[in-house]
Chains A and B, each alone.
Chain A
Amino acid sequence: MLTPASFGLAVVCIVPGLYTLALAFTHSSLGQPLAAWSGLGNFHALFQNPEFAQTLLRTVLYALPASFIQLSLGLLIALLLQALRQGQFVRSLVLLPLMTPPVLVGVAWKLLLAPAGGLVNGTLLRLGWIAEPVSLLGSDTWALPALALADTWQWLPFVVILCFAALQTLPADVFEAAALDGASTRGIFLKITLPLLAPALLGIFLLRVVMSLKTFDLVYILTAGGPGRATALASYEVWKTGLQNFDIGAAAAQTLLFSFAVAAVTWPILKALQWVERRTG
């Protein structure tokens, strides 16, 4: 039962993993990988430059709040959909952002948010709510939140559909029994609904955090890491080092450090998941 998955793991993880490890310790360019041994040279360069550490921090500080907000909103929307007994058509409308090709998500939000001629600014100017165009993606403080907004738009359906499926699998008789016993609604929600959903919710949160940490498409289209370094997220920086500057040795070193950072961030969530499962399992 385990063999196929383990084999798949070996192909996409272990082999590339070893290759990445090898690259990280050598001078490698795209055209001449594994050209010469460089020991800890790549790592040394990364540690000397504070920018990569800042990039990792920025990525984590972006992913965790964004994922949490998406989880909360997603659960609320799933509850809403279930309460209103909406049919498959409405649910499929909710799925639309997730189905949009990533390049298009970026382009759509770029056109919406553009200061000179974007829809948001155009409408606000016409309504007279602002005197001058507002630039979100070009502003230091608002570029990352704007990125989070586009990310939320794209991935909220992911959370919604999974929460919805999780809600479907809640056993009804427990609720019947609790209602018959006269338990308060708040009590039911906090003591029954949430705990029953907790494993699923934490699993979704974990997955969203990992995916969020790997955000690439949006940065590539919307800001290319700018303005300045405001939206320089780890995955984009690794891509730039590897496929634009063609220094795949440095890119491999960055990938390894990034993986450690992600492990550090997701470890508490994993522990929480295991704790919850022990409590309710």
Chain B
Amino acid sequence: MAYQTNYRKNTMDSKDFTPFNRRRFLGTASALGAAGVLAACGKDPVPVTAAPASAPAPAADAKKYAGQSLNLLFNQPHAVAGKLLAEEFEKLTGAKVTVTPVPYDQLHAQATLDVQSGAHQFDVIDYFYHTLGALVADKVVLDVTDWIERDKAQIQPADFLPSLYDTYTLRDGRRWGLPYDGDTHVLFYNTEIFARHKLAAPKTWEDYYQAAKLITEKESANGIYGAAVQGFKIPVIVGSSYANRLAGFGGSFFTADGKPALTSPEAVAAAEELLRIVPYALPTPAETAFEHALPAFLSGKAAMIDFWTDLGVTAQDPKSSQIVDKWSLVQLPVGGKNTTPRAALNAGFGLGITTGTQKTELAWEFVKWATSKDISLQQDVLPGSGIDPNRTSVLNHPDYIKAAPLLQPQLKAAIGNALAWPLQAQSPKLMDALTEQLALIVAGKKKPKDALASAQASWEQLLKA
């Protein structure tokens, strides 16, 4: 493949590579991890602290990166997690790590411009998994397949959640990063409102619809609505809402042979589902983004919301929420002929190394370390970090179960067969074309069937180019 010959000169020669003492690394990392987990145990919000000093100070060997610096380009919602990683990695290796958070809609542009302009300001980037194809095509990230193979024992690639590993890292037969944050949506609901109307947690989208309808009809005069549906015209917002329904109906964005499947019965059914909830949702879905939906749910004005898993942490924080202990969560409902709950991979991030970096070795050490089992666990159990499990061992770890008792079983059941967004290099354009049509559906300007037919035509044209 073309990329291999290009990047051969970027891979390290064996004589350049000084093996990072694996045993000491694992020892230190697990000590740090365990201490971090103990500090962050339970669901109570704990102030963000750096790793405690009880870890044995590594010998000079591990401080060999002292004096070097590493620059990370991180997503704004990961700023807290990134800062923690920076502090700990610095303690571990002496390298100075700087984290630059940028808003999520500038992440890709900044990374690309950085490489393309020759500025080479960043060494490691945090990327949306569905934009990886575009990053690879624009030669922004390094091919790390061979390094994964070489450090297999340390990384344990088989431990990465299967539905995430290929989706987040494999393009054109090569791997370009490691999974970092496995975002999915679940359905949160207000137990108090549900108890009032003697409703059970929705299992199907039909249950969801009926519950929302009932609550809205009975309580909208008091400003309480059955569901908050986010239909704002941005791919990560309305696209996620649609993907949740598409996953529930058992549909996919593509058929098995890679052709767009937007006119399949499941895709149309999912769009119809999105349309029919509009009258009974928090007014109005076309206008509703995170900033409308979340305060509504957190103040008890919306009974249901499909959102990222870290909402659970905020919902239990008395400073931000009026529904502490009055909510619960369940997997995304199913619909149509599908009866197995399915997660939708909405957002989701991996860590990659930029092609312009001078410090490939240090960057690779960081990426391996940040996605390792112990550090992932430490990040995932920490309230407010916003990071979700990327490894099976972390998902099933007792500390994680303890930190997120409601979430863990739901996540475990649904993550196996998750729905991924388009992965091709054209993915941003594909999602934009779909968002245009979804916005028209939510605004009631176009029928779902017609809108999806237009989207299908756009996709076919974009994929041909």
Which residues of A are at the interface with B, using a C-beta cutoff of 8 A? 29-33, 110, 114-117, 125, 132-133, 135, 137-140, 223-230, 240, 243-247
Query: Are the CB atoms of B284 and A229 closer together than 8 Å?
Result: no
Residues of B within 8 A of A125 (CB): 223
Residues of B within 8 A of A140 (CB): 443, 445
Q: How far is the CB of A97 from chain B (nearest CB, A)?
A: 21
B268 on the A face (CB < 8 A): no
What 3 A-B pairs come out closest when comparing CB atoms?
A: A31-B138, A138-B284, A138-B287
Given contacts A30-B138, A31-B140, A226-B443, contact A115 B283 (CB under 8 A): yes
Residues of A within 8 A of B220 (CB): 132
How far does the alpha carbon of A244 sit from the alpha carbon of B137 in the complex, in Å? 16
Which residues of B are at the interface with A, using a C-beta cutoff of 8 A? 105-106, 108-109, 112-113, 115-116, 134-135, 137-140, 220, 223, 225, 232-234, 282-288, 291-292, 295-296, 299, 301-302, 428-429, 432, 436, 439-440, 442-443, 445-446
Given contacts A32-B138, A227-B442, contact A247 B429 (CB under 8 A): yes
Query: Are the CB atoms of A116 and B139 closer together than 8 Å?
Result: no
By CB atoms of chain B within 10 A, which of A137, A140, A228 has the most? A228
Query: Are the CB atoms of A31 and B287 closer together than 8 Å?
Result: no
Q: How far is the CB of B296 from chain A (nearest CB, A)?
A: 6
Q: How far is the CB of B177 from chain A (nearest CB, A)?
A: 16
How far does the alpha carbon of A224 sit from the alpha carbon of B230 in the complex, in Å? 13
Residues of B within 8 A of A33 (CB): 116
Given contacts A31-B139, A138-B284, A246-B109, contact A116 B291 (CB under 8 A): no
Given contacts A138-B283, A224-B232, A227-B287, contact A246 B439 (CB under 8 A): no
Given contacts A32-B138, A227-B442, contact A115 B234 (CB under 8 A): no
Query: Are the CB atoms of B285 and A138 closer together than 8 Å?
Result: yes
Query: Are the CB atoms of A224 and B445 closer together than 8 Å?
Result: no
Q: Chain A residue with minimal CB distance to B278?
A: A138
Residues of A within 8 A of B138 (CB): 29-32, 246
How far does the alpha carbon of A224 sit from the alpha carbon of B235 in the complex, in Å? 10
Given contacts A31-B138, A110-B291, A227-B233, contact A116 B301 (CB under 8 A): yes
Q: How far is the CB of A241 from chain B (nearest CB, A)?
A: 9
Residues of B within 8 A of A139 (CB): 284
Residues of A within 8 A of B443 (CB): 138, 140, 226-228, 230
Given contacts A30-B116, A116-B301, A228-B443, contact A244 B287 (CB under 8 A): no
Given contacts A31-B115, A226-B233, contact A135 B283 (CB under 8 A): yes
Q: Chain A residue with minimal CB distance to B281?
A: A116
Residues of A within 8 A of B232 (CB): 224, 226
Given contacts A116-B296, A227-B287, contact A31 B440 (CB under 8 A): no
Q: How far is the CB of B438 from chain A (nearest CB, A)?
A: 10
Given contacts A227-B286, A227-B442, contact A116 B292 (CB under 8 A): yes
How far does the alpha carbon of A133 sit from the alpha carbon of B234 in the complex, in Å? 24
Q: How far is the CB of A217 from chain B (nearest CB, A)?
A: 14
Chain A interface secondary structure, helix, strand, loop or mixed? Answer: loop
Query: Are the CB atoms of A31 and B234 closer together than 8 Å?
Result: no
Our pick among A115, A227, A228, A246 for the contact of B428 (Cβ within 8 Å) is A246
How far does the alpha carbon of A117 sit from the alpha carbon of B282 in the complex, in Å? 10
Q: How far is the CB of B106 from chain A (nearest CB, A)?
A: 8
Residues of B within 8 A of A135 (CB): 283-284, 286-287
Residues of A within 8 A of B225 (CB): 116
Q: How far is the CB of A111 from chain B (nearest CB, A)?
A: 8
Q: Chain B residue with minimal CB distance to A114?
A: B292
Q: Chain B residue with minimal CB distance to A33?
A: B116
Our pick among A116, A117, A228, A245 for the contact of B440 (Cβ within 8 Å) is A228
A selection of 21 A-B contacts at a CB cut-off of 8 Å is A30-B109, A30-B138, A32-B139, A110-B291, A115-B287, A116-B282, A138-B287, A138-B288, A140-B443, A226-B286, A226-B439, A226-B443, A227-B445, A228-B286, A228-B445, A228-B446, A245-B429, A245-B432, A246-B108, A246-B138, A246-B428
Q: Chain A residue with minimal CB distance to B225?
A: A116
Given contacts A114-B292, A117-B295, contact A245 B287 (CB under 8 A): no
Residues of A within 8 A of B286 (CB): 135, 138, 226-228
How far does the alpha carbon of A227 sit from the alpha carbon of B445 in the complex, in Å? 9
How far does the alpha carbon of A244 sit from the alpha carbon of B435 in the complex, in Å? 12
Query: Are the CB atoms of A244 and B428 closer together than 8 Å?
Result: yes
Query: Are the CB atoms of A223 and B233 closer together than 8 Å?
Result: yes
Q: How far is the CB of A143 from chain B (nearest CB, A)?
A: 8
Q: Chain A residue with minimal CB distance to B109?
A: A243
How far does the alpha carbon of A189 sit from the alpha carbon of B139 in the complex, in Å? 66
Query: Are the CB atoms of A133 and B283 closer together than 8 Å?
Result: yes
Our pick among A117, A132, A227, A230 for the contact of B296 (Cβ within 8 Å) is A117
Query: Are the CB atoms of B139 and A245 closer together than 8 Å?
Result: no
Query: Are the CB atoms of A31 and B134 closer together than 8 Å?
Result: yes
Query: Are the CB atoms of A137 and B432 closer together than 8 Å?
Result: no
13 more CB-based (< 8 A) A-B contacts, given A224-B232, A244-B428:
A29-B134, A29-B138, A30-B113, A31-B116, A116-B292, A117-B296, A117-B299, A132-B283, A138-B285, A225-B439, A227-B233, A227-B286, A244-B105
How far does the alpha carbon of A84 sit from the alpha carbon of B184 in the complex, in Å? 60
Residues of A within 8 A of B106 (CB): 243
How far does the alpha carbon of A25 sit from the alpha carbon of B436 in the complex, in Å? 26
How far does the alpha carbon of A234 sit from the alpha carbon of B284 in the complex, in Å? 25
How far does the alpha carbon of A133 sit from the alpha carbon of B223 in the complex, in Å? 9
Residues of A within 8 A of B140 (CB): 31
Q: Chain B residue with minimal CB distance to A243?
A: B109
Q: How far is the CB of B361 from chain A (nearest CB, A)?
A: 25
Given contacts A30-B116, A31-B112, A32-B138, contact A116 B428 (CB under 8 A): no
Our pick among A116, A137, A228 for the contact of B223 (Cβ within 8 Å) is A116
Q: Chain A residue with minimal CB distance to B221?
A: A131
